[in-house]
Amino acid sequence: MRRKIAIGNWKMHGLSPQLGEAEALSEQHPDPACEIVLCPPATLISRMWELLIGSAISLGGQDCHPAGEGAHTGDISAAMLADAGAEYVILGHSERRRDHGETNEQVAAKATSAHAAGLLSVICLGETEAERDAGRTIEVVGDQLSGSLPEGASATNTVIAYEPVWAIGTGRTPTRDQIAEVHETLRARLVERLGDEGDGMRLLYGGSVKAGNAREIFGIPQVDGALVGGASLRSAEFSPIIEALEAASA
Ligand code: PGA
From 93, 102, 115, 127, the catalytic residue: 93
Check: CB of residue 38 under 8 Å from CB of residue 59: yes
Give the mean model confidence (pLDDT) for residues 128-136: 98
CA dist 212 and 240 (Å) reads 9
CA dist 176 and 215 (Å) reads 12
- Per-residue pLDDT at 61 exceeds 90: yes
Distance from Cα 70 to the centre of ligand 1, integer Å: 31
The pLDDT > 70 percentage for the chain reads 100
pLDDT-derived band at 240 (thresholds 50, 70, 90) equals very high
From 21, 102, 163, 243, the catalytic residue: 163
93 as an active site residue: the answer is yes
CB < 8 Å & 24+ apart, contacts of 12-21: 12/41, 13/41, 13/233, 14/40, 14/41, 14/44, 14/233, 16/44, 16/47, 18/44, 18/233, 19/44, 19/47, 19/48, 19/51, 21/233, 21/234, 21/235
Nearest CA to ligand 1 atom 1: 229
